[in-house]
Structure 1
Amino acid sequence: MGQGTEVKTREDPKVEIQEKGEVFFFYRPKVDKEKAHGPDDVQRMYVVLRPESVPDRAVEEKQAPDSGKEGKKRKTRHGGDEKGQADGGNEGGHGKEEVNVEEKPLLRLIVMGKKSLPDPAKHGRPFWGYVDLVTTDIEDIKDALKGAEYDTATRGKRRQSAARAMGEGVYRILKHEGRGGRPHTHLVYKLELPSRGGEEGAVGEPQEAMNVEPEASFLVQIKNPEQRGGGRGGGGGGGFGGLQGKRKAAFPEHLQGRFGSNRYAPADPPDLLNYEGCELLLISASDDVEEELGLELQTETEEETERGAGGDGGEGGRAGAGCSDLVKMFGEVADVKPLLSGSWD
């Protein structure tokens, strides 16, 4: 469905767009559950970000392709011993390479600690998450989302169900100068699927349960991997258990330098998110992006509707499976019923 567009609705809003792209939301039922009928049946929530362009530059810096889970998957595909590389697969991303996002896909798989987003209408405690996988190979994301069976020493064979898709839209990472004049960064998004039905602003049951609103704005902060603290009971909040040891990202010197002696830093540049083991906090800012930031996001289907496209039978611009990038990329491994219907399995 593409990255959509944005329109500034106030004069000189102090907002700088650092990254544009598509956002996809998924959840996975708990082990040995074939379906999820409510949030108590959910094991994990995933957010996938796919940058599609960056103003004034098409190149993003990411971890070296032989690091983290990405490196493990590459070695396994080329005949390596997966068992022998298990430890390497649990390490965070390190090194660096440049990726032209106009020539190849770049995808980040983020795990949310509390299995939901913060409620964008409430200014509460931060919600912790971490970048679990960064890759230029869509097959890696498919592998992470699909179902699997595995053996355990005490419970025998267990079944992990495939992930369910529950949201698709456009996102922006913004640098914003607030009232105090101190820059910070926002992650803002607007959903294209599931389509909004009768009541304006209504969302489906899984989306409501996991706070995936039609649009939202969150402050995003990156944790300094070289600073200790922030574990349970340490003020991190929102499921902030923290990653341990080698699982943390190992940023190159010029990115690590963005933290100074601080425990957290803005996602500036967004390249910080291109390292597995990058820990982040999402903090509720607003459920009305235009009111808060003077910026209105438009999805591609909204643009088509304004242009009067597809005016046959009143379906002009309405999003559906046929134009969904999520369905095209991941529909073969992830159940898309919650995405298209806004209902549980």
Structure 2
Amino acid sequence: MGEGEETKTREEPKVEIQERGEIFFFYRPKVNHDEAHSVDEVQRLYIVLRPESGEREEEEKQSSDSGKEGAFNKSETTEEAQQESHADDEKEEEKKKEGGKGIEKVNIVKKPLMRFIVMGRKSLPDTSKRSRPYWGFVEIVTTKPEDIKKALSEEQYETATRGTRVKPAARPLAEGVYRILRHYPTSEGKGKAMHTHLVYKLELPLPEEKHEPQDSMNVEPEGSLIIQIKNPEQAAPPNAGLQSKRKATFPAHLQGQIGSHRFVAADPPDFLNYEGCEFILISASDNIDAELGLDVKPEDMTDENYKSCSDLVNMFGEISSIKPLIEGTWA
């Protein structure tokens, strides 16, 4: 289906597209649950971003020989498992690798680049109203779809107190197109309160289908979220954020842009190409055109066999039931 297209509908406010691509949403039921029938039975919400074009054909990412790329390190092992065995956690922590180091350029027009994102909450911020910032982090950056598929698949693991536990496969929740853009709210020039947005519009599930899990997790048909990158050198509040070994190691030119600030705009989006990159999302609007004067258009889903034209299914396969994606119902 591709990245779709966008049209500017008015001159104000000023926006500049930094990156275009496809966005995929997944949710994972809780440990030892065959299915989820409400948000209370959901363990995690995931986002996968696949940039396809932008201001530059090449994006910088962590080096593939950094020891991080595609190494699904189980860092988001369920809270339930962590509570069951603190000793297991300490052993697992010793195995966790440092943030990706080194720089590699990827031509995103010719080669797939994917970011696997873990959200700290089981939903997005509600874009129809103001809310507290929602935290997330980049778990995997890879050019190999099979790395993402592995991260979404079912997994069994051992705990000291309850034996074998099963982490069920993630369910495909929605797919669409996204933009990361600079937003200058006034006409007074580029130096006036610029910030960056992640905006998206869904292709699946179709508007006429049910949207039960999507509504429960605030994955609306379209949304605009302010995105800010957290400085890995700044301390997080107690019991919050990633531990030091898992935080991103940005190259000097990106870390230099952050300086002493705690949060900065996602400019360039290359920040998101380093595993361990932490960020916050802040609700902005559920109407992209009204807020930003930008009409984002996904490609039309006209094929009656939606499965055949779903980029999510074509790229990652049917790792589990696709009912949430196609019918908008829980599975």
Alignment TM-score, normalising by the size of structure 2? 0.89
Distance in structure 1 (CA, Å) of the matches to 2:13 and 2:53: 21
What displacement does 1:153 show? 2.0
Distance in structure 2 (CA, Å) of the matches to 1:284 and 1:255: 25
What displacement does 1:11 show? 2.3
State the partner residue of 2:330: 344
What displacement does 1:73 show? 6.4
Code of the residue aligned with 1:189 in structure 2: it is: Y
Contact persistence 1:170–1:190 (CA under 8 A): yes
Code of the residue aligned with 1:191 in structure 2: it is: L
Equivalences for residues 66-77 of structure 1 within 5 A: 66-67=65-66, 69-70=68-69, 72=71
Give the number of equivalent residue pairs.
310
Distance in structure 2 (CA, Å) of the matches to 1:162 and 1:63: 27
Q: Is 1:168 aligned to 2:160, yes or no?
A: no
SS in 1 for 2:125: coil
Code of the residue aligned with 2:60 in structure 1: it is: E
State the partner residue of 1:196: 207
State the partner residue of 2:198: 187
Code of the residue aligned with 1:165 in structure 2: it is: P
What displacement does 1:67 show? 2.7
Distance in structure 1 (CA, Å) of the matches to 2:96 and 2:5: 37
What displacement does 1:215 show? 0.1
Code of the residue aligned with 1:103 in structure 2: it is: K
Q: Could you list the runs of 5+ residues in structure 1 that have no partner in the other structure? A: 75-83, 233-240, 303-315
Over 3 Å counting, the alpha-carbon distance change for 1:301 and 1:318 in structure 2 is farther
SS in 1 for 2:300: helix
Contact persistence 1:62–1:274 (CA under 8 A): yes
Q: Is 1:320 aligned to 2:319, yes or no?
A: no
Q: Is 1:144 aligned to 2:151, yes or no?
A: yes
Q: Is 1:6 aligned to 2:6, yes or no?
A: yes
What displacement does 1:217 show? 0.1
Distance in structure 1 (CA, Å) of the matches to 2:227 and 2:157: 35
Q: Could you list the runs of 5+ residues in structure 2 that have no partner in the other structure? A: 74-90
Distance in structure 2 (CA, Å) of the matches to 1:332 and 1:54: 29
Distance in structure 2 (CA, Å) of the matches to 1:292 and 1:319: 34
Distance in structure 1 (CA, Å) of the matches to 2:146 and 2:297: 29
Q: Is 1:209 aligned to 2:216, yes or no?
A: yes
Distance in structure 2 (CA, Å) of the matches to 1:149 and 1:85: 15
Identity %: 59
What displacement does 1:318 show? 6.8
Equivalences for residues 257-272 of structure 1 within 5 A: 257-272=256-271
2:318 aligns with one of 312, 332, 337 = 332
Distance in structure 2 (CA, Å) of the matches to 1:342 and 1:326: 15
State the partner residue of 1:65: 64
What displacement does 1:148 show? 1.6
Alignment TM-score, normalising by the size of structure 1? 0.85
Code of the residue aligned with 2:196 in structure 1: it is: T
State the partner residue of 1:46: 46
What displacement does 1:231 show? 4.4
Code of the residue aligned with 1:340 in structure 2: it is: I
State the partner residue of 1:309: none
State the partner residue of 1:37: 37
State the partner residue of 2:16: 16
More divergent stretch after superposition (285-294 vs 96-105):
96-105
